[in-house]
Amino acid sequence: MASARRGWDATAIPFPSGFDGNSAMTSCLLVIDVQWGMFQALKVPKVWNDGPLLARILTLIQKARAAGTRVVYVQHAGEPHESLAAGSPAFALHPAFAPQPDEPVVVKRRPNAFLDTPLHGLLRGWGIKEIVACGIQTEVCVDSTCRAAADLGYEVTLVSDAHSTWDNQILKAEQVIAHHNVTLKDYDFVRLLKTDELKLGEVPDGGCRNTSTKVNG
C-alpha cells in the first residue's frame, strides 16, 4: 500500500524525467480515490464500469509521465465503520498503481481534496495552473474537488470518461456521470475531454471560467 506523505517542501521533490521547461510543468494529473475497496466489493459493490475505468486512468498516468506532467494521487481515509476505513485493505490505492518518487499521495478525510490537506500548497509550490481530474466518486469527491479547484483559481479539465460512481435510488451510474459532466461544464467549473482527446502538457483554449494564470493563496 502506498503511504501518505504529508507536509513536503514541493521544491524538494525532483522534476519528472520528461521535464523540458514547457507547459507540461504547469499541469497536474489528479487521481482521486482510486482505491482497492472500490473494485473488490468488500463493503460496497464494485464501482460501475470498473475495468474500462481503471484502464483509462492508467492510460492518463502513462500520458502524464511521458509528457513530464506531475501526477498526484488522492487517498480517502474513512472512519472505522466506513467502506474506505483508514488502514483497512479497502483503503489501499489500487495495486495497479505504482507511484513514482515524484508522485505524492495526499490523504484526505473530506470529499474536497483541498480541505485540511497539503494539496494546494504542494501544487502552488510547483507552479501548477491546470488540474486534470479523474477518479471516484463522481458526485462526491470528484465533484467537490473540481469545484474547489476552480474556486482556488486553477483551470480544471475533467476527463469525462475517466470517473465513475454507483447506481443510486433515482439514477443509474451512467446517468449520474452524464449529469455531473454537463453540470460542471455548463457552470464553468471544468472543461471536458475524453481520455483519447487529452494531450497532457498542452495548455488548452477556453472552456473554463478561470482565465487568469494566478493561483490564489
Distance of CA 180 to the CA centre of its chain: 15
pLDDT of residue 77: 86
pTM of structure? 0.82
Q: Which three cell numbers stand for residue 38?
A: 472500490
Q: pLDDT digit string (tens) for 9-36?
A: 343 444 343 333 345 689 999 999 998 8
In 10 A of CB 7, how many CB atoms?
A: 7
Residues 161 and 23: beta-carbon distance below 8 Å:
no
pLDDT of residue 9: 39
CA distance 144 to 126: 22
What secondary structure does DSSP assign to the chain, as a single string?
A: -PPP--S--GGGSPPPTT--SSGGGGEEEEEE--BTHHHHTSSSPPPTTHHHHHHHHHHHHHHHHHHT-EEEEEEE-B-TTSTTBTTSGGGSBPTT----TTS-EEEESSSSTTTTSSHHHHHHHHT--EEEEEEE-IIIIIHHHHHHHHHTT-EEEEEEEEEE----SS--HHHHHHHHHHHHHHTTS-EEE-GGG--TTSPPPSSSS--------
Nearest to 162 by CA among 75, 23, 61, 67: 61
Known catalytic residues are: 141
Low-confidence ranges of the chain (pLDDT < 50): 1-22, 203-217
pLDDT of residue 45: 84
